[in-house]
Amino acid sequence: MRKAIGRILMAAAVVSTVATSAHAGKVLWTAPALAAYPNNQTIYCDIVNVGKTPQTISVEVLDYYGNVVGFPILGGTLNPEEGTATGDASGSGARCRFTVSGSTKSVRAVAVYDNGSAYTMSVPAQ
């Protein structure tokens, strides 16, 4: 029983550390461009780890006021050469925020806009 409780506490500490490090990392942003203009589009926030070590990441779709919109915040670990994305089809998404645990030079991130039949625009994160 003690070993099981110890493992549970250890797992909780790891999850807490990962969640904290994702928010304490370095941040990349895209410039705002409202997904509802000129027609309602989906904004996707895409990120790939181009480094040699895993990175803990957090990806958020934001409106002009900094509120998280759309799907819940995407977080986790990206291994080298691995990518992920999250999106929002409500039309209120305007920009992406990417938080990484390591160097921002080891990731590439972008907002991509999709009108349902084609990608219409991409905005690189800085």
Handedness of CA 87, 91, 96, 97 (dihedral sign): negative
User: Looking at the predicted structure, is the pLDDT value of residue 8 above 80?
Assistant: no
Instruction: Give whole-number Cα distances, 55 to 44, 67, 112, in Å.
Output: 20, 24, 22
Cβ atoms of 28 and 126 within 8 Å: the answer is: yes
The residue-averaged pLDDT of 27-39 equals 91
User: Looking at the predicted structure, is the pLDDT value of residue 5 above 70?
Assistant: no
Domain spans in the chain, listed from the N-terminal domain onward? 2-124
User: Looking at the predicted structure, is the pLDDT value of residue 23 above 50?
Assistant: no
pLDDT band at 26 (very low <50, low <70, confident <90, very high): very high
User: Looking at the predicted structure, is the pLDDT value of residue 62 above 90?
Assistant: yes
pLDDT digits (tens, 9 = 90+) for 82-100: 999 999 988 899 999 999 9
Closest CA to 61 of 53, 50, 72: 72
Q: What is the pLDDT of residue 24?
A: 58
The residue-averaged pLDDT of 94-110 equals 97
pLDDT band at 73 (very low <50, low <70, confident <90, very high): confident
Architecture of the structural domain at 2-124: Sandwich (2.60)
Q: What is the pLDDT of residue 72?
A: 67
